[in-house]
Structure 1
């Protein structure tokens, strides 16, 4: 049976707190906005009047509800699952999954403003844009650090699917 390396002994406290506390709170905030203030959320993430940004429609509320569900799963996985399981292999695996979500989320942010050229024009960013970039980008950096630089038995030991 493989030994378990404790995440709490190998991942620096600021990185753990980011995933256990800070990011779940921002995910809950996003879920709240998309469930209860979807017009405000839509207005904050899109730019006025471009062809690619249709006006908010209550008929599309189900899309915002789906996004809220994803953020609630994120909040649960980080604040409950990672808290309960002090296993570096699990933390790294969860971080890989979250990085996949991060990549798709960042593509959606680019789409929301009308493409890479407009996205790269940080001079035109508003406060919400900066908050999203710092929160989402910062959390992605934390996950990259965990999967790429934290050493231990995270992923090297035998487990299901590895010939055990």
Structure 2
């Protein structure tokens, strides 16, 4: 195991977060998010990425910071592939960097901040004097949410495929 990790570091409001680059398929700027009424709580819409329909996931809603200052998902979208589950388009304010972090600068998320509902808050890294919360994207969705998102994606893909062929 390497002594460092390589996260994609992004900003959401005034906070910095990171996701493992190995799970990132692409970083998209100014991608069009089609809002879907009555979708699941954290799904704000869908994106069409080179013919693939991918749910747009609102980290603001997941983190309970929906009213935070900043634009919601209009600047950048990080497409992550959650192994065995689904691809998600994470709405972020800005992608800051892809960085190497020395293992000595990483500590586990304090137990006080970690619950069953926040298991995705994995670790905290000190990057140039700034704290970056490293997310475990594989734990962003509960099992039932993952199943619902998978079903939602399949339905949207089938609807889109029918419209594209007709």
TM-score in terms of structure 1 length: 0.28
TM-score by length of 2: 0.28
Greater strand content: 2
Higher helix proportion, which one?
Answer: 1
Bigger radius of gyration among the two: 1
Identify the structure with bigger relative contact order (alpha carbons < 8 Å, sequence gap 6+).
1
